[in-house]
Structure 1
Amino acid sequence: MRGSLTSLVRPIVGARGFSTTSEKIVASVLFERLPVVIPKLDPVVYAFQELSGKGDYQIDYVPAPRITEADKTNDRKSLQRAFDRRLYLLLYGNSNGATSGKPAWHFPEKVYDSEETLRKCAESALESVHGDLSHSYFVGNAPMGHMVIQQTENMLEPYKRFFFKSQVIDTSKFNIQKGDDFVWVTKDELLDYFPEQAEFLRR
């Protein structure tokens, strides 16, 4: 799906559940703010509409600016930016995927423990970030995809990471309560935080 992170994770084909073995499982949440405004028209499309008369109309109001103060200052803690793009929440702190054991950037996540379902685990992960789920909407009950993290010299315990998608509903600000820092970033800006996974993210 263009403009989303669906293409960044491997889809689960034919899976109706998840492993119930002792294998470690992590639920991660792609918490996204959908675009607020329609992306600008391509100059070629705009020119065609002008020539065909479809662009000739009267505007009786002054639209709000597309470029906000948060855009000008590159304030990545604000949801009042990149109105024509999707924004994704990243946290800085202890992460299950940090191979060095040091704080790292990651999506909201939680190790599956005793929750009734894996989605409940994902909900718990997001709820621990900003207190409640009243301004979030989980898209579907099943994971949108997963990654298998292999055992390495720095990653002694292999695990599976399942991704759930949730969307911001009816708010422009959250009180982020978890982690040492946080940012809201576009898909392109994710590369700034995961440079070692640049090739994977571009796919």
Structure 2
Amino acid sequence: MRSTILNTVKCYSTSAATTTTTSTPISSTLILSRLPIITQDLTPFQTKFYKYQSELWRRLMWTFPKWFYFKTGTMGELRYRQLNKNSVSYDPKILYPSGKPDLKHLRDRRFRQYIKVPKTYKEEDEMVGQDQSNIKENEISRKIVPNSRITEADKLNDLKSLERKLNRTLYLIIKNKSENQWKLPNFNQEESSTSLLPLHELAEKGLYKIGGKKINYFNVSKTPCHHNSNKEYFIKSHILSGAFEPQDSKIEYQWVTKDELKDILSKDYYSNISHLLSDV
């Protein structure tokens, strides 16, 4: 009986030793993102709320103290009253279609107060013979107009530009022209190498190899944030400046949002990494 067991163990050991198996190489996948540059778009409710708060604040703010800046009976007060007409007076015997005026210091507090400040004689003398449009453009008190939230890259739908979707997080995806599948940059360990590279260094080396060294970025952590059964480890990184410039003409790339990735990546691939991507 003992002889039978030894022969059985020997048989299985020999069989296992002679069987050849192919192991999956360890790889590092880089989740390279460009963080939002501007604030998020307001929802319709937020837009109405902030507009209401702004109008309420301007309506209830203290009335401009013209008596402090323009003394009664002076030419300055006369010039101020010529530019700023008093609000309509209130008479209880009159019906006001727009509502009863709420007068305080000759100001209707139902609306915000707009003030026109008269210029000094010196300023008027300097304006004589000059182009008024140019003076208005260079005036310090001119209205500040913010830049448009829609860039040229958005208008042209340039998926290779980092200037698109400034209020969203963009992710780098690549594709070989010989293939028909977009994916995150993935780099395998070299089988001929005598020592294995750390996963974050493997991702950095691979990124510079395919995208050039004009990329200034940093890794969120040296520790992978995710892995799958194919020995594929994911490293999160953020690009700070520079640009991705393909070092091989066969490589195509795009900067896309999470919503766009859902339509570009395969269903299984996206479901495996969707929880790693930002909704913002």
- Structure 1-normalised TM-score? 0.70
- Mapped partners of 1:75, 1:140: distance in 2: 30
Query: Hey, which of these two has a bigger chunk of helix by percent?
Result: 2
- Mapped partners of 2:32, 2:173: distance in 1: 9
One of 140, 164, 171 as aligned partner of 1:88:
171
Q: CA deviation at 1:194?
A: 1.4
Q: CA deviation at 1:41?
A: 1.6
- Mapped partners of 1:55, 1:137: distance in 2: 45
Paired residues of 1:110 and 1:121 also in contact (CA < 8 A) = yes
Indicate yes or no: 2:195 matched with 1:128.
Answer: no
- Mapped partners of 2:182, 2:157: distance in 1: 18
- 5+ residue gaps, structure 2, are 1-22, 59-140, 276-280
Identify the residue that residue 162 of structure 2 maps to in structure 1: 79
Indicate yes or no: 2:187 matched with 1:117.
Answer: no
Q: CA deviation at 1:184?
A: 0.8
Correspondences of 1:150-169 after superposition (within 5 Å): 159-169=230-240
- Mapped partners of 1:107, 1:55: distance in 2: 49
Distance 1:143-1:55 versus aligned 2 partners, 3 A rule: farther
Paired residues of 1:91 and 1:106 also in contact (CA < 8 A) = yes
Residue-by-residue CA offset, 1:1-36 (whole Å, 9 max, x unaligned): xxxxxxxxxxxxxxxxxxxxx542110101111111
Distance 1:105-1:38 versus aligned 2 partners, 3 A rule: same
Q: CA deviation at 1:40?
A: 1.3
Q: Which amino acid aligns with 2:174?
A: L
- Structure 2-normalised TM-score? 0.52
Residue-by-residue CA offset, 1:148-203 (whole Å, 9 max, x unaligned): 2xxxxxxxxxx2211111111133x3322244311111111112321433555666
Q: CA deviation at 1:120?
A: 1.1
Which structure: larger Rg? 2
Identify the residue that residue 192 of structure 1 maps to in structure 2: 263
Superposition RMSD in Å: 2.8
Identify the residue that residue 52 of structure 1 maps to in structure 2: 53
- 5+ residue gaps, structure 1, are 1-21, 95-100, 149-158
Secondary structure in 2 matching 1:128 = helix
Correspondences of 1:23-34 after superposition (within 5 Å): 23-34=24-35
Indicate yes or no: 2:176 matched with 1:106.
Answer: no
Q: Which moved more, 1:65-74 or 1:46-55?
A: 46-55
Q: CA deviation at 1:143?
A: 0.7
The structure, 1 or 2, with the larger RCO (C-alpha pairs under 8 Å, 6+ apart) is 1
Residue-by-residue CA offset, 1:122-167 (whole Å, 9 max, x unaligned): 111211122227511111110111122xxxxxxxxxx221111111
Q: CA deviation at 1:104?
A: 2.6
Distance 1:54-1:88 versus aligned 2 partners, 3 A rule: farther
Identity of aligned residues (%): 32
Matched residues, number: 165
Correspondences of 1:168-187 after superposition (within 5 Å): 168-171=239-242, 173-178=243-248, 179-187=250-258
